[in-house]
Chain A
């Protein structure tokens, strides 16, 4: 550590400034003290006089006077035209800037790669989702849906066993135990695998609500072909859910489409480690 404080140039400058300030103070104070001792006031006295105490006529310094007049004229303009026509509001500024930012955000990340989406999704998840679903996404011992199995065959199996409700689809509540054993497992594998390949025969039990192709019959029930994809997460975020565990609020309008996709991607990474 440098112990000589005079080697630091900031200290040198501060010291120089201190010396200059002291010198100036001494000079100015001395000048006026001397003036008070020797000089006498002079000039033209104003007419008014209070018990013998008079006042000299001091004209305003012209620079000061013109500035003062200028502010008066400016005030008239501001009062009649400047403020009413051109009113500034903090809220207005906020609205404009946020709209602009959102637009930029959406176009900048329109084709974000997976790593970016994961990083973005993690940030949003930790703020908006973790208070209920837990930092690890495990639902904190049954306090909310366990997202670490969601999107996998285990998640579908869980739903088939327990049923599901509260997404607000016209078909209403899905009862638990529609399928069991190997039938349930086959359907779970099929749905979690993106519904590719041969449809297991037991899917007929699901088709009565979700449709033969699993697409939910045009919005009557959830679209199973999107299960395990960010699109399904976005759907739940929009709708909210009043399920068996508790209520999930709707995040409609709180996240932009890209943020929803990011959260969906992150949640899937929790379940599948992708």
Chain B
């Protein structure tokens, strides 16, 4: 019945390609058009949060922690509501992770606080006795890279049209303004912290990594 088609190898190839491509388009296009749009009210990261995100990446937190809560009751009971694709709209790159040596962190800002993170990063076993997480004391002395964070924010604003500075969205502004608001955000976090060295550093106008990563963690929800 289809011998005539087999006699036309070129036409046959084009036909097969079209059928498969069509199926692919039907699967992919709606997802790109709808589901991956930012969910309502999703804010791009502030410069300080972005700096914290860089610390998160630099110290390979994503090697042990995922950021993706699947729609299973066992996960939503522990980690909060399941993740939606639109929540990752401003994540470049996404940090879903592939392995949970530690717990998921996608909504850690909903159930952990500045003071808890401070204790935990200094010495994880002081708050979670069975923890195998190493301590990250260097975060208390090294300063976060605010310049790179600002550069990234400016780049994604210009190249990907991330809605910085638009009405109702995170303000970015000029480098001077961004630096100022990052410092103010850092001061609010340092006020909730106990480590005197960190408080002093922020008072001097420096931003230690611990402050940046706490800003990032508190913003995860």
Chain B 86-129, CB-CB to A under 8 Å as 1, else 0, gives 00000000000000000000000011111110010000001111
CA distance A131 to B7 in the complex (A): 71
Which residues of B lie under 8 Å from residue A131 when comparing CB positions?
A: 112, 116, 127-128
User: CB within 8 A of A143: which of B112, B127, B192?
Assistant: B127
Q: Is the CB of B58 closer than 8 A to any CB of chain A?
A: no
Residues of chain B within 8 A of A90, CB atoms compared:
71
Report whether A132 and B129 are in contact in the complex, using a CB–CB cutoff of 8 Å: no
> Which residues of chain A are near B6, meaning CB under 8 Å?
48
Whether the pair B71, A247 counts as a contact (CB closer than 8 A) is no
- A127 CA to B3 CA, complexed, in Å: 66
Distance in Å: Cβ of A56 to nearest Cβ of chain B: 12
- Given A48-B3, A94-B71, A254-B80, verify A143-B115 contact (CB < 8 Å): yes
Contact of A246 with B116 at beta-carbon distance under 8 Å, contacts A91-B82, A131-B127 already known: yes
B76 at the interface (CB under 8 A from A): yes
Q: Does A135 belong to the interface (CB within 8 Å)? A: yes
* Complex contacts, B166 vs chain A, CB 8 Å: none
Task: Determine the distance from Cα of A97 to Cα of B71 in the docked complex, in whole angstroms.
Answer: 11
CB distance from A236 to the nearest CB of B (A): 14
Check if A132 sits within 8 Å of B127, measured CB to CB. yes
A contacts with B, residue count (CB < 8 A): 23
Query: A251 — which chain B residues lie within 8 A by C-beta?
Result: 111
Q: Which B residues between 141 and 166 are near A, CB-CB below 8 angstroms?
A: none
B192 cross-chain contacts in A, Cβ below 8 A = 246-247
B78 in contact (CB, < 8 A): yes
Q: Which of A46, A135, A248 contacts B129 (CB 8 A)?
A: A135
B-chain residues with CB within 8 Å of residue A245 when the two chains form the complex: 115
Does A98 sit within 8 A of B, measured CB to CB? yes
Q: How far is the CA of A248 from the CA of B115 in the complex (A)?
A: 10
- Cβ of A272 within 8 Å of any chain B Cβ, yes or no, is no
Inter-chain contact B111/A128, CB cutoff 8 Å: yes
- In the complex, the answer to whether B127 meets A247 with C-beta atoms within 8 Å is no
- Tell whether, in the assembled complex, residue A94 and residue B114 are in contact, meaning their CB atoms are under 8 Å apart: no
CB neighbours of A81 from chain B (8 A) = none
Residues of A within 8 A of B (CB): 46-48, 90-91, 94, 97-98, 101, 127-128, 131-132, 135, 140, 143, 245-249, 251, 254
Give the interface of B toward A (CB within 8 A): 3, 6-7, 71-73, 76, 78, 80, 82, 110-116, 119, 126-129, 192
List, sorted by A's number, 10 A–B pairs whose CB atoms are closer than 8 Å: A91-B71, A94-B82, A98-B76, A101-B73, A128-B111, A246-B116, A247-B113, A247-B114, A249-B111, A249-B112
